[in-house]
Structures are given as C-alpha cells and as structure tokens.
Amino acid sequence: MPLSVVTEKVHINAKAVIQETTKYSDKTTFRWRDRSLPENLEIKAQQLYQKATQQFQNAEYEAALETLQQVLDIRKQQGDRDSGTELYRFNISSTLYSIATVYKQLQEYQQALEYYQQALEIRQQLGDQDRTSVPLRERIAATLHNIGTVYHHLSRYPEALVSLNQALVIRRQLEDSAAVGRTLNEIAVVYDTQSRYLKALEFYQEALEIAQQEKDNASIRAILSNMGLVYSQLGQYEKAIDFYGQVLETNPPTKGIILNNIGAVYRRLKEFPKALKFYQEALQIHQENQDRFAIATTLDNIGVIYREQGKYSLALESHQQALEIREKLGDREGKAATLHNIGIVYRESGSYAEALQFLTHALIIDRQLGNRDGERITLGNIGKLLAKERPELAIIFYKQSVNVTEDIRQDLKVLPVEQQESYVESVAEIYRSLADLLLQQKRVMEAYQILDLLKVQEIFEYIRSLESDKYKSTEVPLLEMEKKLWKKYNQFIDTVGQNRDKNPDILSAELVDIQSLIDSPEVTNIVLELKKNASSQKLNVEILASLQSELKNHKQENTVVLYPLLLEDRIELILVSPNSPPLHRTVLVKQEEFKQALLEFRLGLTSTRKVGNKNRSDYRAMKAGLKFYNWLIKPIESHLKNSGAKTIIYAPDGQLRYIPLGALYDGEKWLVERFKINNITAASLIKFIPREEINPQILAGALTEGNYKFIVAERKFDFDKLPFAGVEVEKLAEIFPETKKLLGNAFTKEAMESNMGSYNIVHFATHSAFVSGHPEESFILFGDGNLTNLREVKDWNLKGVELVVLSACQTGLGKELGNGAEILGFGYQMQVAGAAASLATLWQVDDQGTSEFMNYFYAALKNGVSKVEAVQKAQISMINSEFNHPYYWAPFILIGNGF
C-alpha cells in the first residue's frame, strides 16, 4: 500500500492558556468571604502563576508543571484554617485546572483528566452554593468541555459525549455563542471519530452557522475542513471538494494541507492528472514555507500518482527526493514509508529483486519503531511480490500480515477516522489473496479459516468497529516448516538491523543478500517439504475437528457449511460436513461473466409479473437460477446427497450476498424445496448450538399511514404507507394473541426501543434499506417518519430476542452493486445488540405477498419448528400458491442462528 495523505480533524479551542482571567470579588454575583492567604504568600503565589504562564507560552511545559505545583503547595498551606472558604477552594480549583491544561498540552491525557476532574468537583460544589454566578458557570462549562476533549483523546467516546453535552447545556443557557460553537464542533469531532458521520455533520453544520454569525474565520475554516473530511469518508467526493474549495477561498494558513487532501480525493476517484495538479500546488506551497516534512510527504504522494500512471522512472525520482529529505530529518517512520513506496514501484515495474530489497528494508525499520500498521502492510506486499513465483513463501508472509492485522484490530475496536485510510485500504484483499493461494495449494481448512476471518474483516471495514466481547483476535497458525523458515528470516533481518545501527551505510549493500537467503538450499528444501506435505498437516485436522464438532449438534438437521470465494477468474467452493473430509471444488468463471449473470438473475428475481401457476413462472429467473446452481451447487451435489444434508449454513462472499441461495434452480425444483438455508456473517462470530423451543412473544410495529420523503446521503427516498402492513400485524396477532401492536403514529422509535427487552420476537412491517457505502445510509423507517440507521442498531436492547424481522427491506440500491457488506453488517449489528437471528428481504416485496409469507412463517413457528425450518415451509407454501414467482418468496433470508 502506498503512503497516504495525512488527513486530520481540526479541534476549535480558545487560545490555550493556563491562567483564567476573570477576576472574582465581592462585586460579582458570587459572594466570596473576605479571607485569603497572608499577603506575602499571596504575592508569591501570583508571581509563580505569572512565571508558569510565561513558561507555558514558551512551550516549557515541564517547567510550567513544576511552577504550578509550587503554587498549589502554597495554596494548600491555607487549608487547615481556611479550607471551607469559597475563595480558598476557588483558587485551588484554578490551579488544578491550570495543571490539567499543561498535561493536556503534553498529551498526557490520563493525568490531565484527573486534575480536570478535581477542579470540576470543587467548582460544582461552589456552584451548588450560588447557581446565579455567571463566571463560575462559565468555568464549570469550560472544565466539562476540556474533560470531554480528554475523554475523546483517550478513546472513551460515550464519556466524552456526556461531558461535552453537559458543557453545551450550560453554554447555551449563558448564551455564549462562541463557546457553544466550540463545543458543538467538539461533539461533532467525537461522532466523526466514531464514524457516525451523519450525526457529525448535524453538529458541524450548527457550529458552522454560529461561526459565520460570529465572523470567526479561523473556526469557519476548521469546520469546513472537518466537513470536507467527513464527506470524503462518506465517498461523497464532489461535496468534499466543494467544502475544501470553500476553505481555500479564505486563503488559509493550512492551504498546503487542504490541497493535499483534495489531491487525495482525486486519487481515490482515480482522476490522476487532477490529483497530480493539486499535489504539485501543495508541494510549491510547502517549499515556499520550507516545511520539509510536508515536502517529503507530498513528494511521496506525487510518486504514487506517477506509479498509478505507469510512469515508473518519474515515480522513483519523486520517492528518492522524499527519501533524501527524510534521511536528513532523521524521520525514520517517514523513511520506512518511502522505502515501502519505492519497493512497490519496483514490484509493479517487474524488478522483483529490488522490490524485495526495499520492502525488507522498510520492514526492518517498522519493526524497530514498533509500527505495527506499517509492518502488516509491508508483510502483505512482500506476500504479493512472492505469490507468482514462490507461493509457499508468499503464504507465510500473508499469514503474518493477517496475524498483525488481527492484533491491531483487537486493540482498535473502534477505528479513528485519522487511521481509516491507512488501515482499511486493501486490508481485506490480503485475506482474500491468502485464501486464494491456500486453495491453489489444496490447503482447504486453512483457507476456510481465512475466509471466515475475511468476513470479520469486511464487517470491520464497513461498521468500523467490532464489539470486544463478541470477537476475539485469532492467530493464524504456521505449519512446522513455515515456523522454521520464519525463524530464519527473522534472524536475517535482525542481523541486518543490528549492523545498520552500527554502520548505517552498510544496509543497502547487505540487503541484496535477501535474495540469496530466498534462493538458499535450506529455504529451497523447506519449500519442497511444504509442497509435498502442507495439505495434510495436523493444524488442518484441528480446525476441521472444531467445526465438525459444532455441526454434530444438529443430528436431525444433517447440517453442512458452504463457503464460496469469488476471485477474478473463478469461484472456489469449500463444503464442510459433520462426518466427512472437507470438499473443495474450483469453478472457472470470469468476473465479467459472473457480473452479467448476477445482473440477469437479479432482474429475473425482481420481476413483478404475477403468474397463476408454477409452470408459468418467469423463465428468466429459472434460466439464471440454473446457471448459479451449476456454479455453486452442481460441483458439490453428490457430496450433499451422500451426506444426507438437509440444511446448508451459507456464508456468501461479495456480490453473492445480493442473491438468495434458495432461488437457485436445478431444472426441476428451486433449491429451497430441497434444503433449509441459514445465512451467517462468519462462523467465528456465532455458535451453531440449537436453541430451545421458543414460546413466541411478539412486539410488532407497522407503517400504516402517511407518506415520507427524505434524503439520506444525497439519495432521495419517497415511501408511502404499506396498506397490508396493518393486515400483516393483525393476522400475526390472531396467531399469537399476546402480540403487542404498535400501528401508525404509535409505531415510534421510542416505543419500539422501550419495549424490545420484554419480547423474544421483534417485527418491523415497514420500509427499510441496506445501502452500500456506510452504515449511516442504511435505515429503518418508523410510523412517525423518524429513522434509525444501521450504526445505531447496536445500541438496542435485544438480549433474549430470538428473532428480528424486517419484512420490507431493500438492498443493492444505487447504480452499481457493492460487495454486500451492508447485508453482512446488518446481521452483525443485530447480533451485537443481542438477537440470535434476523429475517430480512433482499428487495422490497409486494405488500400483499409479504403479508402472505408472514402468515405462513408464523403459522409454522406456532407448530414449534425452528426458525430456519419455518422460513423453508413458508417459502414452499408460497411456491404452491398464486405467489409462486420467486419475486414473492425468494428475498426472505435468515441471518444468524436459525436453529
């Protein structure tokens, strides 16, 4: 991965000071007692305070801390005889606040938090005594604001929002517009960091309006820059460029950075000439300002553009200039990134020995610096370099890249926006490439494990977080011979690194020997051993045994697991059954053919033409369904038959998520007529333990009135009421009389959320959409017109809920289909909130047809069958009814534990 442009959110703060200037006296609204330190000590305290202020302004932060501690010691000398006075306590709080501010400036956030909290406690106690003191309330608000920013830096986002909102309430009451704007921006920054982009934009917009009213140009520039970054993250690049352009109109001091960010947007759009133009303009400004760090970064970005254009000599020239600057600056982290970029240029231009040299050089520095993100990127790129000629070696590097990624992800949990571009870009591709190589080497169970981790990574990239109690990092084990080679490689780079420390000039010459290591007889013998025996190693047996053990819990279901992998030129299939060795089949399908077939299948399935009997069902859906059957099921058909399979646990890959497996057609029957089908997000995120038979207690909401028009992420939606939604819920209540019904205006977000914890089935008869892009763009519509987006779903209380039903979903919206991550993310978010399974639709179904399906589904549940069997029975009933076209029955998919 190339070095990325550094993008950064801007915090709006009042000028950093440690000495608060408002003077308190008996004339203020706060009533101070006339007590103070002896005059000599008071004078000394004030002198020391002035000294600390000057030290702070001179960036002598450690010295300022020492001086402020002396002030605090003097103030506390008063404590025994005067600790109850307001003035004493106020002075103590001011000193504590000042110490906290210095710690914050030093980025020692835990210490800053402790001192701010001590100051806040005193100020709130004083405030309880006199609630009318405006200056004191201003100080309480300022302290709460700063505590919020510190919590943000500590990644304690919920606590940050609590403190900031408390500050906001006070500042609004005091009608301090400038302070309100700062706090609004800070709240937006927290939401931005959490990737809650629409919420962030809401607060940024209000902060912007205030800054414009106040004619605060610095704040206006900062907020516009932040909004540009949000729109860039949302993929709304034209809007991002527009906001960056508004910043440029003000001729900001950060003009070079803004130009860099615009260049990054055009690079994402693959409009390389435009990207190059903005990078070069940024470079000129950085050169005028003699900002050597920025010059080196921009030169690297220019080199990346040249590489993308296939202009390798120009790319190398630009990167070499950056490298020279970084060497002079002693910027080792930047140097590693530049060496990495040079290695990629050599790889893309076919100079593999040089590429290996520079990438290894980058890896050595990353390890010495403890730069785990740089390490995982470099390991992956070395894997890609070796994949064609040395696949056995490439697998080792890919595995180690995945292992570092898993460790980083476990630490991150929620990914800050600043790290998203550097972390997320192409991460899933490493997992996919590793699975591809493992399958080429017939190492099936290792590939299965990687495919499962790939699903988890895709969720992380879409949601930008993983709940720590739902997912634990997984180490991909090395085979014994792989361990041997990895140890030898590590010994080599450790030696080179040590030699470099002794003599920096020796590194380039000695790194040439990395090729000698790769070509050595010992490494050659390890590779031969891996080719011969890798597919039968013990760890494959262990992975298989663990999965088969879970499948054996379903004796009556005869359950198998099907994992497909979509690649450029083929589909790889892995089938695992409880009592047989895993099955691996390869189906040659070009990506262009697959995409065309997918389009035809979706068109055939979503045709709304009614038919009177099964034989007249749409030929287009059957024809396309047969093609996918031949790709996904025919190669494993005999194994399914021999194993007596009745249920398929299905983990679709990529765009396969947009078509229901049950709608595949074998020439005589739809697949759902032969198998129950249970979709999953990832096997590692769910246990296939059969659930106890449930006594359905249902909370059901329905959109029965109104028309709602709204825009989400520039996409217009126009939804009418669902006439049959009320009928659907009323019939549901006939089957289960204790159902709680929320219809029309009673079907609100608040009413549903407050009741969820008391029911084990939550049913939404309303419009919803899973939109490719970002979780904020996927939503559920309530009866009063309010929306809940997909990111907010995880905060629902669904503990004890067996099933969440969304009976009128849409997916695949937009000009082009994505990779289906929005469907994967929906299932995961419901699972995080506590639900065992969810039932959704892949397209918006006929209102009456949906009502009929739900009648069949809930009638089957009434008879005590599992969720997955109830779905199958309902779909078969639809096939044998007037609603036999797959448009009506096929879109319903069950995600999670349906047993």
Q: How far apart are CA 669 and CA 683, in angstroms?
A: 29
Q: How far apart are CA 878 and CA 860, in angstroms?
A: 13
Mean pLDDT of 687-695: 77
Q: Which residue(s) pair with 702 in the sheet?
A: 743, 765
Phi-psi region of 60 (alpha: psi -120 to 50; beta: other; left: phi over 0): beta
Mean pLDDT of 536-555: 69
Verify that 555 and 532 share a domain, yes or no. no
CATH number (domain holding residue 741): 3.40.50
At 708, give phi and psi (nearest 5°). -130, 125
At 227, give phi and psi (nearest 5°). -65, -35
* Of the candidate ranges 77-91, 622-636, 759-773, the one whose mean pLDDT is the lowest: 77-91
Are 721 and 709 spatial neighbours (Cβ–Cβ below 8 Å)?
A: no
Residues 119-141: b if buried by 16+ CB within 10 A, e if exposed:
bbebbeebbeeeeebeebbbbbb
**Is the pLDDT reported for residue 615 higher than 60?**
no
DSSP string across 682-709: -GGG---PPPPPP---EEEEE--S-EEE
Confidence of residue 423 (pLDDT cuts 50, 70, 90): very low
Verify that 663 and 728 share a domain, yes or no. no
Are 282 and 260 spatial neighbours (Cβ–Cβ below 8 Å)?
A: yes
DSSP string across 511-557: HTHHHHHHHSHHHHHHHHHHHHHGGG-HHHHHHHHHHHHHHTT-TTT
**Is the pLDDT reported for residue 2 higher than 80?**
no
More confident residue, 536 or 412: 536
Are 179 and 195 spatial neighbours (Cβ–Cβ below 8 Å)?
A: no
3-class DSSP state for residue 2? coil
**Is the pLDDT reported for residue 782 higher than 80?**
yes
**Whole-number mean pLDDT of the chain?**
85
Highest mean pLDDT among 76-90, 355-369, 761-775: 355-369
pLDDT at 33: 34
Q: How far apart are CA 403 and CA 423, in angstroms?
A: 14
Verify that 793 and 817 share a domain, yes or no. yes
Distance of CA 885 to the CA centre of its chain: 37
Burial class (CB in 10 A: 0-12, 13-18, 19+), 110: exposed
Helix axes 255-268, 292-308, angle to 10 degrees: 20
3-class DSSP state for residue 839? strand
Residues 6+ apart with CB under 8 A from 459: 466, 681, 682, 685, 821, 824, 825, 828
At 666, give phi and psi (nearest 5°). -95, 5
Verify that 670 and 712 share a domain, yes or no. no
371 within a domain of the structure (yes/no)? no
CATH number (domain holding residue 590): 3.30.420
Query: Of the candidates 291, 321, 348, which is a domain's last residue?
Result: 291
Are 378 and 363 spatial neighbours (Cβ–Cβ below 8 Å)?
A: yes
Verify that 880 and 749 share a domain, yes or no. yes
**Is the pLDDT reported for residue 5 higher than 50?**
no
822 within a domain of the structure (yes/no)? yes
Element (H, E) at 867: helix 867-879
Which of 890, 886, 892 shows the shortest CA–CA distance to 610?
886
Instruction: Give the CA distances from residue 284 to residues 116, 243, 260, 266, 316, in Å, rounded to whole numbers and listed in that order.
Output: 43, 22, 11, 18, 19
717 within a domain of the structure (yes/no)? yes
Element (H, E) at 145: helix 134-153
Q: How far apart are CA 544 and CA 578, in angstroms?
A: 9
Residues 6+ apart with CB under 8 A from 611: 617, 618, 884, 885
Verify that 860 and 733 share a domain, yes or no. yes
Verify that 655 and 713 share a domain, yes or no. no
Verify that 645 and 711 share a domain, yes or no. no
490 within a domain of the structure (yes/no)? yes
Verify that 562 and 482 share a domain, yes or no. no
Residue 372 C-beta-side C-alpha neighbours within 13 Å = 13
Q: Could you tell me the two tokens for 549? A: 């053990």
Share of the chain above pLDDT 90, in %: 50
Task: List, for residues 298-321, the tens digit of each pLDDT value.
Answer: 999 999 999 999 999 999 999 999
pLDDT at 306: 97
For 429, the domain range is 387-536
Residue 39 C-beta-side C-alpha neighbours within 13 Å = 0
Query: Of the candidates 509, 536, 563, which is a domain's last residue?
Result: 536
Residues 6+ apart with CB under 8 A from 191: 161, 197, 199, 200, 203
342 within a domain of the structure (yes/no)? no
**Is the pLDDT reported for residue 86 higher than 80?**
no
Mean pLDDT of 799-812: 87
Element (H, E) at 490: helix 480-502
Q: Could you tell me the two tokens for 444? A: 């099936």
**Is the pLDDT reported for residue 412 higher than 90?**
no
**Is the pLDDT reported for residue 203 higher than 70?**
yes
Task: List, for residues 169-189, the tens digit of each pLDDT value.
Answer: 999 999 999 999 999 999 999
DSSP string across 21-73: -----TTSSS---S----HHHHHHHHHHHHHHHHHHHTT-HHHHHHHHHHHHH
Contacts 24+ apart (CB under 8 A), 582-591: 582/444, 582/445, 582/448, 582/544, 583/636, 583/639, 584/439, 584/442, 584/444, 584/447, 585/635, 585/636, 586/439, 587/631, 587/632, 587/635, 589/631
Mean pLDDT of 67-73: 89
Q: How far apart are CA 116 and CA 94, in angstroms?
A: 10
3-class DSSP state for residue 838? strand
Instruction: Give the CA distances from residue 575 to residues 86, 115, 562, 658, in Å, rounded to whole numbers and listed in that order.
Output: 74, 58, 5, 21
Element (H, E) at 455: helix 444-463
Confidence of residue 194 (pLDDT cuts 50, 70, 90): confident
Verify that 659 and 704 share a domain, yes or no. no
pLDDT at 14: 59
**Is the pLDDT reported for residue 128 higher than 50?**
yes
**Is the pLDDT reported for residue 494 higher than 90?**
no
Q: For the chain, what is the total number of helices (H) and then of strands (E)?
A: 36, 15
**Is the pLDDT reported for residue 192 higher than 70?**
yes
The tally of domains found in the chain comes to 4
Are 769 and 809 spatial neighbours (Cβ–Cβ below 8 Å)?
A: yes
Are 779 and 742 spatial neighbours (Cβ–Cβ below 8 Å)?
A: no
Mean pLDDT of 674-695: 84
Are 607 and 888 spatial neighbours (Cβ–Cβ below 8 Å)?
A: no
Which of 380, 360, 372 shows the shortest CA–CA distance to 429?
380
More confident residue, 623 or 75: 623
Verify that 632 and 704 share a domain, yes or no. no
**Is the pLDDT reported for residue 36 higher than 80?**
no
CATH number (domain holding residue 135): 1.25.40.10
305 within a domain of the structure (yes/no)? no
Count CB neighbours of 595 within 10 A.
Answer: 13
* Of the candidate ranges 455-459, 614-618, 794-798, 853-857, the one whose mean pLDDT is the lowest: 614-618
Q: Could you tell me the two tokens for 603? A: 């068109």
pLDDT at 368: 87
571 within a domain of the structure (yes/no)? yes
Confidence of residue 114 (pLDDT cuts 50, 70, 90): very high
Verify that 532 and 565 share a domain, yes or no. no
368 within a domain of the structure (yes/no)? no
pLDDT at 586: 97
**Is the pLDDT reported for residue 795 higher than 60?**
yes
Count CB neighbours of 270 within 10 A.
Answer: 9
Q: How far apart are CA 308 and CA 312, in angstroms?
A: 9
Element (H, E) at 804: strand 803-808
Are 4 and 232 spatial neighbours (Cβ–Cβ below 8 Å)?
A: no
Query: Of the candidates 653, 680, 707, which is a domain's last residue?
Result: 680
Q: How far apart are CA 519 and CA 500, in angstroms?
A: 23
Residues 6+ apart with CB under 8 A from 36: 42, 78, 87, 88
